Structure 1
Amino acid sequence: MNQPNRDDVNFRALMDDVRPLDSVRNRADPGRPRLAPSESQLARRESAAAQADGHDFLSDDFVDLVPPFDPLAFRRDGIQQGVLDRLRHGGYSVQSRLHLLRRPLEECRRLLAPFILEAYAHDLRSVMIVHGRGREIDSAPNVLRSYLAKWLAQFDEVQAYVSAEQADGGLGATWVMLRKSERAKAANRERQQKRRG
């Protein structure tokens, strides 16, 4: 028996018990959309919250207010200005977003640490935080923006952040670049080793 005939026989043997869908329901039933988070999502959130408890430094103590029309910018030593410029201009894709619009400051503080830690744990590199911007220096969105600038710099996982371009939300949104996790660094080294031979 030649190879094509053998493959045909093997395929028929594998598909022997497969039956077509009936014509009334000729597509798979995806079920009802989930409104409540799954158990695994809840477990990940609890884990992130437990890790976030170590980030008590994210306090709502006094902060210098950033003027409403000044862009936010921060980069750690070793991060090139070109990386910051590329981040500002949307050169990296948004891998996750956190929307903090119209939320109380305390809730924003509670949501930030789990978001950053979970993004880092899932090897995400560029995320966006949408926070809004007021016209007055003491407006609620501008106060949040000022605290966000203080809080983000306190995370070891954050390499840089910068206000977005107008098309991406302008001064009411901030791009955040996270450092590579050890797992991602090891995978990158492995890829480089394979490429070299």
Structure 2
Amino acid sequence: MTDLHDDADFQALMGDVKPLSRGQGRAHTGQTRRVPTEAQLAKRESAAGDGAGRDILSDDFVDLVPPFDPLDFRRDGIQRGVAERLRQGGYPMQASLHLLRRPVEEARQALPAFLREAVEHDLRSVMIVHGRGREIDSPANVLRSYLAKWLPAFDEVQAFASASQADGGLGATWVMLRKSERARAANRERQQKRRG
């Protein structure tokens, strides 16, 4: 009995509704498609650029890392000992990026350029100084959380880890970059000379 009653209510509500006749499931409003603004076009071009500013860097959502948890990441093939040595500052710092008290958007712009330049100069061990707040949603911790999300997106990043207390603790992150082809070739050449 209730089914017939529900059907009658539904029919009464839908009485003068007509199926869409144009398009495939889209309402036709009579308006033409909007042309993208110059700013939108520039943003698209920047995102599609050389891959250095990958799309994920523009993502608005991030899982916040608790303020007292260290950052830690290593790609498959990177030994634990290498990652531990990185964390302890066992590799010389070849460059650093200071993002302390900088907004997330500014960091999102600076990070790809910094990493690209480091790779171009055959740097392997760099540091990012970002700070760390005591609250999970403090600006420094939000930035730190974004870095933990962004860094693995760069193929050049082999590992990263929060610094030891002597090097800035949880407010700084060591990053190990992949050896460039140029550096690999120089390594092979040195090894061949040693062998004779």
TM above 0.5, yes or no, is yes
- SS of structure 2 residue aligned to 1:128: strand
In structure 1, distance between residues paired with 2:82 and 2:176: 9
* TM-score, structure 2 normalization: 0.73
Cα deviation digits, residues 110-159 of structure 1 (max 9, x gap): 00000001101100000000000000001100000000000001000000
Q: Which amino acid aligns with 1:144?
A: L
Cα deviation digits, residues 38-95 of structure 1 (max 9, x gap): xxxxxxxxxxxx6465523312421110000000000000000000110011100100
Counterpart for residue 85 of structure 1: 84
Which structure 1 segments of 5+ residues have no match? 1-49
Q: How does 1:45-194 map to 2 (within 5 A)?
A: 51=50, 54-194=53-193
Change (3 A) 1:160 1:63: same
Contact map agreement 1:60 1:106 (CA 8 A) in 2: no
In structure 1, distance between residues paired with 2:193 and 2:88: 33
- SS of structure 2 residue aligned to 1:58: helix
In structure 2, distance between residues paired with 1:59 and 1:74: 21
Which structure 2 segments of 5+ residues have no match? 1-48
In structure 2, distance between residues paired with 1:53 and 1:120: 11
Contact map agreement 1:52 1:114 (CA 8 A) in 2: no
- SS of structure 1 residue aligned to 2:58: coil
- Specify the structure having the higher radius of gyration (Cα): 2
Superposition misfits of 4+ residues, deviation over 4 angstroms: 50-54
Change (3 A) 1:139 1:83: same
Identity across the alignment (%): 78
In structure 2, distance between residues paired with 1:62 and 1:122: 32
* TM-score, structure 1 normalization: 0.73
Which segment drifts farther, 58-67 or 149-158? 58-67
- SS of structure 1 residue aligned to 2:56: coil
Counterpart for residue 29 of structure 1: none
Cα deviation digits, residues 19-41 of structure 1 (max 9, x gap): xxxxxxxxxxxxxxxxxxxxxxx
In structure 2, distance between residues paired with 1:130 and 1:98: 6
